[in-house]
Amino acid sequence: MFKLRNIQPLLRYINTRNRCINHSLVQRFASTTSKQEQIDSNDIPVKFSASKAKTYKAKYSRQGTEDERLWYEPPVLLVSLAIFLLYFCVFREENDIDRELDRSLYSRIDGLEEAQLRMSLKYNLENGLDTTDIVKRLQEIDREKQSQNE
């Protein structure tokens, strides 16, 4: 097989002596020999201890290298988060959405609390658990319904 380094002086000689040679033909010949050389070199097994894979660590695949993070990224992130939390928790005024979210789910859906209390009462009776608080709350709900009806 021809090696690429042996062909280069020949190509230079041909180019200087004969200007009418098609340059694309010369390039095609050079590229086919380099491809053949690559195929031949790919057939040979690579010794692991002599390759670059010897120094590769698996953590680079999971975490990336240490150089990927900029030096100012943690302080910028910390300051941005602190400013956001200060605005959201301290300086922001309460609006109608906040007041709506403060309401209980039972006050939004009529009969939900009573239905859940009845299911809890049934479960506690079947399993022999204490039902005094549930019964008291059901009685309160009944009194509230009666006062609304009157």
Give the pLDDT confidence of 82-112 residue by residue, as tens digits: 999 999 999 999 899 988 889 998 888 889 9
Residue 139 has a pLDDT of 96
Q: Give me the pLDDT at residue 44, please.
A: 80
| Side-chain half-sphere CA neighbours of 92 within 13 A | 12
- Residue 87 DSSP label: I
Q: Which range among 12-21, 57-66, 107-116 shows the weakest confidence by mean pLDDT?
A: 12-21
**Is the pLDDT at 42 greater than 80, yes or no?**
no
Lowest mean pLDDT, pick from 27-36, 79-88, 120-129, 130-139: 27-36
Run of H or E including 113: helix 112-127
Percent of the chain with pLDDT over 70: 69
User: Higher pLDDT residue, 67 or 122?
Assistant: 122
**Vertex 99: Cα angle to 93 and 105 (nearest 5):** 155
Amino acid, single-letter form, for residue 92: R
Domain ranges of the chain: 4-44, 110-149
Phi, psi of 54 (to 5 degrees): -60, -35
Q: Is the pLDDT of residue 52 over 90?
A: no
